[in-house]
Structure 1
């Protein structure tokens, strides 16, 4: 079973992709998770915190797929 924080992030991610970040509010995220907005704020204080947590999660998840191209750095 997924942790509530992960469920919130999954729902937020889907809504952000569908509706856009600015058009998505806490109530919509809560409704998508079948919980109340108050329950979300017990984990994330604001939509901004959800966005930052989602960004950190996606960055950590995708770090293994990133590589540095050695020829990218210019030599003088």
Structure 2
């Protein structure tokens, strides 16, 4: 019985991986939580910080933590890695 369960698990895993690969190749949504703050808002916030606003205050006004702001800014290339 254990071997049969293992085989079913492997088949299901292959199907999931194939489905994810097809969706990724087609450029479709893979799910997950939608982003509320847009990339342009992050860019505008970065310019506020460059002009002297504290990062914690800017992030709080956007409704996110300072760490989340820095993570998003890094993914947009606004901060060095």
TM-score in terms of structure 1 length: 0.37
Task: Work out which structure has the larger RCO, using CA pairs closer than 8 Å and 6 or more positions apart in sequence.
Answer: 1
TM-score in terms of structure 2 length: 0.35
Name the larger-Rg structure. Answer: 2
